[in-house]
Amino acid sequence: MTTERSSLDDPLFRPLQVGALAVPHRVWMAPLTRLRCLEPGDLPIPLMAEHYAQRAGAGLIVSEATHISPQAKGYAGAPGIYSDAQVRAWQPVTAAVHAVGGRIACQLWHVGRISHSSLQPAGLPPVGPSVLPTQARTSLRDAQGRPMRTLCSPARALEVSELPGIVDAYAAATRRARAAGFDAVEIHGANGYLLHQFLAAASNRRTDAYGGPIAARMRLLLEVVDACADTWSADRVGLRVSFGASSSPELADDAPEANALTVARALAPRGLAYLHLSEPDWTGSGEGLAPAFRHALREAYPGVLVGAGRYTAERAREALRQGWLDAVAFGRAYIANPDLPERFRHGAPLNEPDATTFYGGGAEGYTDYPVWNAVS
């Protein structure tokens, strides 16, 4: 038996203005790497149009992470947004979402050191802020084309002279995302990838203008944000960040909450569409964000705040009622429930996701999850 909630009474289903976008409700689809793209070329496949269109009932879809350049690639089977061929391959995907009334943002990705030399141009080492060992793993493809986990290759430190080129690559990717029909872009500054590597004290040991105090460590992030905003419009740009203590020593920060608030205050006047929090409990381990920090963050950043972590519908409703968040993005639940907002609206049961089909493969575990039938 299910119970339908009134949209006026349910905080999940109140409309929201997100920069230039008017979204009908607060249930978003989080970015979900699925590694089904065509190689070589890092091209979206036609099946992706069906996958995203099935989920177009989201308030906003944030696409799977999409690398901005060949150097930015870290996972075999992930899509790119750095070539004209990729723009053409993305266009049917965004058109399919729009045809059923949806909205979709392209998540712009540079993995930094989380890569393997076999994925890099000319087999070169991956890049990062500093030369440091890592136990992180990435994903290659085996001889049969199946995902294969492997340790990342040792990275080299980026020269200061290379950083403007990375900023330019984000700007170029923004232009291409717009040409591909996306409604916005989301800069991926979270989850241990390049911009997060620059922010975290443990992964950034630089002694130049991009290392040391947080004001210097956040310099590259702000340059990227400004370049993307200048290329399109600030109200078409979101940013994903990992605020709070990291569960990985390789991404430890010297003052996680204070530094997060410093970053938030620097972002506040820039007029971005939203700030997307990849919360520290998203992996199922670690502590969530403390209420005191959430209140401080709301004061530091008055714009649209989106949360993603181990949220249930009820936890999401409570975060919205408390004013901590303006929307909540769901990941694994959206993998298995293409009609997730309707299930939440009616209190319907959820399909369980099949983890064996998360990465690589075809339609199985991708476009074949059943929708809920209100009559049954």
What residues are labeled active site? 193
At 99, the amino acid letter reads A
Contact call for residues 104 and 60 (beta carbons, < 8 A): yes
Scanning 209-329, the segments in alpha helix (DSSP H) are: 214-217, 219-231, 256-267, 291-300, 313-322
Give the whole-angstrom CA distance, residue 314 versus residue 8.
Answer: 16
Burial (CB count within 10 angstroms: exposed 0-12, middle 13-18, buried 19+), residue 162: exposed
Place of tokens 């964000």: 289
**How many C-beta atoms surround the C-beta of residue 117 within 10 A?**
15
Tokens representing residue 155 in the block: 């990275």
Q: Is the peptide bond before 40 cis (omega within 30 degrees of 0)?
A: yes
Give the whole-angstrom CA distance, residue 42 versus residue 141.
Answer: 13
- Give Cα separations from 280 to 133, 153, 242, 243, 247 (angstroms): 22, 26, 7, 7, 7
Give the whole-angstrom CA distance, residue 316 versus residue 300.
Answer: 21
Give the whole-angstrom CA distance, residue 164 versus residue 24.
Answer: 38
Give 304-330 as a 3 state SS string.
CEEEECCCCHHHHHHHHHHCCCCEEEE
Scanning the chain, the segments in alpha helix (DSSP H) are: 47-54, 84-99, 163-179, 194-199, 214-217, 219-231, 256-267, 291-300, 313-322, 332-336, 340-346
